[in-house]
Amino acid sequence: MSKIDFKNEYKSLYSAPSKDFVLVDVPPLPYLMYDGAGDPNTAPEYKQAVEALYSLSYTLKFMSKRAFDRDYVVGPLEGLWWANDMGTFVTRQKSKWSWTMMILQPDWITADHVRAALSEVMMKKGLPGVEQARLEVLDEGLSAQILHIGSYDDEGPTLKRLHDEWLPANDLKETGKHHEIYLGDPRKVAPEKLRTLLRQPVKRIQ
C-alpha cells in the first residue's frame, strides 16, 4: 500500500522562500476544524483542540486503510487567526486572538466518516470538547505566503511588512484570515529553528 504525503501532493502550498513573499493559488481543501479563542500558550481550549484534531485525524487515517486500502501521512497542524484589532498580531497580545485550528484531510473522507471517528474517539478516549470538531472545506484562492524561521513571537515584523509594504506595493488587499502552517514541532525543535508558513488570502485591487 503506497502512502500519500499531501505536503508533496500540494508542494507549492507547503513551501515558500524565507526572504520574500510569493503568490500561490490555493484550491478548496477539506479540513478538520476546531474553533476557539485566547492565548494558545495558556488557554485550556487550545490544548483540547489540538488533542482532538490529532486523535480524530489518526482515527480517520486507520479507518481509510481499513475501508479503502488507502494510506496517507497525517498533515501538519494549521491555524486561522484573527482579532477585532489585527494590530494585536504585531504586538503579540495573544489573549485577544480568536483561532480555528485545522488538519488537512483527504478528499475521500466524508462527514459520515468524521461522525464515525468522533464516536470512536469519544468511546475510547473521552476527550473533552472533541465533538466540537467538524469537517469543512476552506477556499482561500489567491494567497501570499512566506516561510518564517524562528520563534512564533518573532513573526510581528514580517506580518507588518506584508500588510504595510508588500501588499500595497503589489496592488493587493487581504481578504481572508491569517493562516499559519506549522512545519516544526515546538516540543522537539528549538524556537529559533521552528519553520512556519505564513499565508494571507488576497485579492487584486481593481
Q: 101-150 pLDDT, tens per residue?
A: 999 999 999 999 999 999 999 888 777 788 999 999 999 999 999 999 99
Write down the H helix ranges in the chain. 6-9, 44-68, 88-91, 111-124, 156-161, 167-169
User: What count of Cα atoms within 13 Å lies in the side-chain half-sphere of residue 38?
Assistant: 10
Using the predicted structure, report yes or no on whether residue 1 has a pLDDT greater than 70: no
> Which domains, and CATH codes, for the chain?
3-204 (3.20.80.10)
Model pLDDT for residues 54-106, shown as the tens digit of each residue: 999 999 999 999 999 999 999 999 999 998 876 766 677 788 889 999 999 99
The alpha carbon torsion through 167, 36, 10, 164 (nearest 10 deg) reads: 10
| Residues 6 or more apart whose Cβ sits within 8 Å of residue 40 | 46, 94, 97, 99
In 10 A of CB 13, how many CB atoms? Answer: 21
Q: CA-CA distance, 71 to 1, in Å (whole number)?
A: 7
Model pLDDT for residues 20-34, shown as the tens digit of each residue: 999 999 999 999 999
Q: Nearest 5°: phi and psi at 153?
A: -70, -10
The DSSP symbol for 75 reads P
> Is pTM, for the whole model, over 0.85?
yes
